[in-house]
Structure 1
Amino acid sequence: MTAPDISKLKIERNPATASARPARRRWVRPVLAGAVLLAVAAIASKQINGSANVETVTVAQSYPSQSYTLLNATGYVVAQRKASLSSKATGRLEWLGVLEGSAVKKDEIIARLENRDVSATLGQAQANIKVAQANLEQGQAELADAQANFKRTGELLAQKFITASAYDAAQARLSKARANIAGYQAAIAAAKASAQVAQVALDQTLIRAPFDGVVLTKNANVGDNITPFSSAADSKGAVVTIADMSTLEVEADVSESNLSKIRVDQPADITLDAFPELHLAGTVSRMVPTIDRSKATLLVKVRFSEHDARVLPDMSAKVAFLSKAVPPEDRQAVTSVQAAAIATRDGKPVLFVLDGEKVRQVAVTQGRKLGELVEIRGVKAGDKVVLTPDAKLHDGATVSLNKK
């Protein structure tokens, strides 16, 4: 068998084909080197410019009374003297003289029902009094005449000028006149009683304030039918609701596990959710002697030791029960900050206040410790300062906020 001739076979060595793959790899190394250089430059720039991720806190206003707090509780402002006013009579509301927020005085007329029929009855009763009084005057005249006639008949009988029967008739007339006087006096008393009944009925159509207070709600309008003792259709019961603002208290629920920290006449600090900057002194007035089984709490009532016109019924409130009364010098708010925000530079306490993208080193003076906060002077409430500043952080350093 003849061997194949492979002398004509050859491998084509094309320079372009041989260098194609290495050519594709030439750009990779310069790109990687450039990326590394850029990363190094960024890190170096960050170190040069002093940029660092930091967390910030806000300088706040605090009250030294916080250091006296034994227990905190929440509750609502409640008026201890509150009344829904209506009339005992039934009728159409003819006049209403108050609105929500109106201040009223005790016995002041605030509304009136239609009362012309009752006024007419009262007028009739008063006229009957006058008739009875006129009858009494007539009876008194008759009594005087009967007394004079009886006196004359007695003298004539003594002189035998008249008979005994005439004398007896005069005596009977006198007794009748005296009896008529008693009847007339009783008629006057009855007429006055009737007038009093009519006056009471008239007064029942007038709605008066039982105590000094402020109108909280207006439940009826002029023209509404007032039926306080029934549930008739299209009728109203109470016309207005008033409260005595001097009796406002905070009712707070306290867990029974914390009752050992509460006592009657204990000082307290009251704040309102509507006015968090307003702190009012209070005192525990009483503790309701029963436990709410569903919540395992006791109702504690705290009265206001000082009053403010902004306090309204049903406001949400927070009560801090204190170990002792707050001295006057501790009643004012002070500037405070978390202790971890205070750094030391050259042996002095400083804060790093955020100013745009940079921080400003501010020398401060430390004061009392208020729980987790420290009283501070040198900055103002609302300033944002760096929390736990690094030892390398310096005045004018560029920072970025930690997004955590």
Structure 2
Amino acid sequence: MADHDLSRLKIDRSAAAAGVRIRPRRRWLRYAVIALVLLALVGIGVRLAGPQAVQTATVTSAYPTQNFTLLNATGYVVPQRKAAVASKAQGRLEWLGVLEGSRVKKDEIIARLESKDVAASFAQAQAQIQVAQASLALQQAELKDAEVNLRRSKILIVPNAISRTEYDAAAARFDKARASVNSSRASIASAQANARVAEVAVEQTVVRAPFDGVVLIKHANVGDNITPFSAAADTKGAIVTIADMETLEVEADVAESNIAKIRAGQPCELLLDALPGLRMAGQVSRIVPTVDRSKATVLVKVRFVDRDARVLPDMSAKIAFLSHAASAKDRQPVVAVQPAAVVTRDGGRQLAYVVRDGRAHEVQVMTGDKLGELVAVQGVKPGDVLVLSPGDKLSDGDRITVAKP
């Protein structure tokens, strides 16, 4: 029994050696598992981390003319030929044949004033002509009779068949008849002049268009009293305002410090606020040779080379004064963005990151010419929002948030 117990207390050397050899392997395996778990936790932490804060820039459209624009200015469209049309006569407006926007031709009748009084005067003047003409006919007949009587008296005075007194009376009668004829002719001329005056007065009650144009403003209505040369109460001076739309141009005030950059005949590009998609060619028509002291500006007038029926007076316009004329290609828009939105990675590939649904999506792009502070780019479209200055840590699909400037 004692021997049996003592044998149980004997140390097994082989088992101890085996244990020593097995324990280091388990330790390294345990370390590897821990490292893998830590890496997984780091990856999950990165994925679960908050979105990166970035700044963004919007893709826009730009024009190549920006590269050779010397100066920009703002102004307004004005007609070179414009008139407030009124009648020289005074009276009540009887008929108006135009409205705002009506197109009229030169000498076309657009309005009439009441003309019964001047028409009556004209009729009276014409009657006076007829009276003078009838008087002339009577005096001519009297002259003819006096001439015959004088001729007879000249024959009879030689043989003393009539007295000298009778001969002198015949001669005086002839002279008087001839003077009466001349007086009647002068009366006819006077009556005709009076008739022309009355006719002009009648014509002045008819208002005609002074040139081809469009009615901009209607100042009076039928029934209004027109008094162009006074300011009486409840009266109108002008009836309508007409502008020649073929003479539209843009006027702009240019600072006198920049006037050296502008010359007559210089090519321009015109952009109207009312027609943002339309860029029209223009040319400097003239520079008004005076300076506005209060504003230190010079008035520059630019005519339209390209015309559009939608251009109206008083529209606001932007003028780009160019160093040379723009070609048709230069006037076509191109896609552009800030250069900082494009990065070069992976062996020279140009990339941009489009912001959609709170994530950055990698897009391959190709840059072109510089357009002022922008650069032409292909691969994105106007309106896309790109990450500005994306860092090396930004990858495709990363969550982002737009940082406040």
Give the Cα separation in 2 of the matches to 1:366 and 1:146: 110
Distance 1:310 1:159, change over 3 A: same
Q: Corresponding residue for 1:231? A: 231
Give 1:159 deviation, angstroms.
Answer: 7.5
User: 1:341-380: per-residue Cα shift (whole Å, max 9, x none)?
Assistant: 2233442333333333334433333332111112223333
Alignment match, 2:369:
368
CA deviations over 1:72-115 (Å, ceiling 9, x no partner): 11222222222222222222221111111112222222222211
Cα 1:350–1:140 change in 2 (3 A) is farther
Cα displacement (A) at 1:199: 1.6
Unaligned runs of 5+ residues in structure 2 are 1-40
The alpha-carbon distance between structure 1 residues 43 and 180, as it changes in their structure 2 partners (threshold 3 A), is farther
Q: Distance in 2 between matches of 1:284 and 1:115?
A: 47
Whole-angstrom distance in 2 between the partners of 1:331 and 1:119: 60
Q: Name the counterpart of 1:281.
A: 281
2: distance between equivalents of 1:87 and 1:231?
15
- For the residue of structure 2 that corresponds to 1:192, the secondary structure is helix
Is residue 139 from structure 1 mapped to residue 139 from structure 2 by the alignment? yes
Partner-residue secondary structure (3-state), 1:278 = strand
Closer/same/farther in 2, CA of residues 46 and 302 from structure 1, 3 Å limit: farther
Counterpart of 1:234, as a letter, is D
Cα distance change of structure 1 residues 140 and 384 upon mapping to structure 2, 3 Å threshold: farther
Structure 1 gap segments, 5+ residues each: 1-38
Aligned-partner residue type, residue 383 of structure 1: D
Equivalent-residue separation in structure 2 for 1:294 and 1:53 (angstroms): 49
Q: 1:13 aligns to what?
A: none
- The answer for the alignment partner of 2:8 in structure 1 is none
1:329 positional shift = 2.4
> Which whole-Å CA distance do the structure 1 matches of 2:44 and 2:159 have between them?
152
Counterpart-to-counterpart distance in 1, 2:239 and 2:363: 62
Matched residue, 1:98: 98
Q: How many residues align?
A: 364
When residues 178 and 52 of structure 1 are mapped into structure 2, their CA distance, relative to the original with a 3 A threshold, is same
**Structure 2: which amino acid aligns with 1:245?**
M
Separation in 2, partners of 1:309, 1:84: 22
Q: Secondary structure at the match of 1:259?
A: helix
Counterpart Cα distance in 2 of 1:212 and 1:206: 17
> In the aligned structure 2, how far is the partner of 1:392 from the partner of 1:56?
16
Mapped to 2, the partners of 1:44 and 1:223 lie a distance apart of 84
Other-structure match for 2:85: 85
Matched, 1:358 2:359: yes
Equivalent positions of 1:110-129 (< 5 A) are 110-129=110-129
Structure 2 match to 1:130? 130
Structure index of larger Rg: 2
Separation in 1, partners of 2:341, 2:68: 24
Q: Quick one: distance in 2 between partners of 1:96 and 1:42?
A: 83
Give the SS at the match of 2:221: coil
Name 1:298's counterpart in structure 2: 298
Give SS of 1:84's match.
strand
Q: Specify the code of the residue in structure 1 equivalent to 2:365.
A: V
* Whole-Å separation in 2 of the counterparts to 1:188 and 1:276: 67
Local SS of the residue matching 1:263: coil
What one-letter code is carried by the residue in structure 1 that aligns with 2:102? S
RMSD, aligned α-carbons: 2.7
1:344 and 1:353 map into 2 onto residues whose CA distance is 15
Q: CA offsets, 1:121-173, max 9 Å, x none?
A: 11111121122223223333444444445445555666876565555444444
Return closer, same or farther for 1:45/1:138 CA change in 2, 3 Å cut-off.
same
Q: Which amino acid aligns with 1:391?
A: D
**In 2, Cα distance between equivalents of 1:329 and 1:159:** 111
* Alpha-carbon distance in structure 2 between the residues aligned to 1:350 and 1:159: 136
2-side partners of 1:332 and 1:111: how far apart?
47
Q: Please list, as runs of the form range in 1=range in 2, the aligned pairs for 1:175-214 lying within 5 A after superposition.
A: 175-214=175-214
C-alpha change, 1:133 and 1:382, in structure 2 (3 Å) is farther
* Residue of structure 2 equivalent to 1:324: 324
- Residue in 2 aligned with 1:391? 392
Structure 2 Cα separation of the partners of residues 207 and 183 of structure 1? 38
Q: Distance in 1 between matches of 2:142 and 2:333?
A: 88
- The sequence identity of aligned pairs, in percent, is 60
Distance in 1 between the 2:259 and 2:273 partners?
Answer: 24
CA distance in 1, matches of 2:284, 2:295: 21
